[in-house]
Amino acid sequence: MAQGLILFLPRIGITVVPFREYERGWYVVVVDGNKINPVGGYHLSICDEEIATAIEVRLGEQVESRIVHTAEAAEELPDGQLILANDGRARRKREDSAGTTWTAFLRASVSTGDLHLPAKVLGVAK
């Protein structure tokens, strides 16, 4: 389902377009890169976990973001919100009867008190 979509990868901070699937992920073209992964010249191999936490965007459209500095501010975020914590891991908020947990794809969940703040709150592009 990811083929041809323009995806912002919050943990890495680049925007890519997946073009061919392989056993554990996708080969992608970088369309907005950084110093480590610049635009053009080669293709990257991105694992399924990175694709699953990506935010679909349009070219030229910025992904809205803001910073939360306290656990209280993090708790006020809506269920399902994606953040990029100060430890470099993207985590998604989940609320249930047991409380709030922040989960990285295929990683153990942490409580709000265990988040590495400040964290960048990533908006979803329309």
Count CA atoms closer than 13 A to 82's CA, side-chain side.
22
- What's the pLDDT tens digit per position in 62-79? 666 678 888 898 999 988
**Cβ(66)–Cβ(54) under 8 Å?**
no
Q: 């249930």: which residue's tokens? A: 96
Q: By residue range, what is the domain housing residue 86? A: 7-114
125 in any annotated domain: no
123 in any annotated domain: no
29 in any annotated domain: yes
69 in any annotated domain: yes
105 in any annotated domain: yes
Which of 90, 65, 93, 95 is closest to 80 using CA atoms?
93
The structural domain count of the chain equals 1
Q: SS3 for 95-113, per residue?
A: EECCEEEEECCCCCCEEHH
- What's the pLDDT tens digit per position in 8-36? 888 888 889 999 999 889 999 998 887 88
72 in any annotated domain: yes
Task: Determine the pLDDT at residue 126.
Answer: 35
15 in any annotated domain: yes
Count CA atoms closer than 13 A to 38's CA, side-chain side.
3
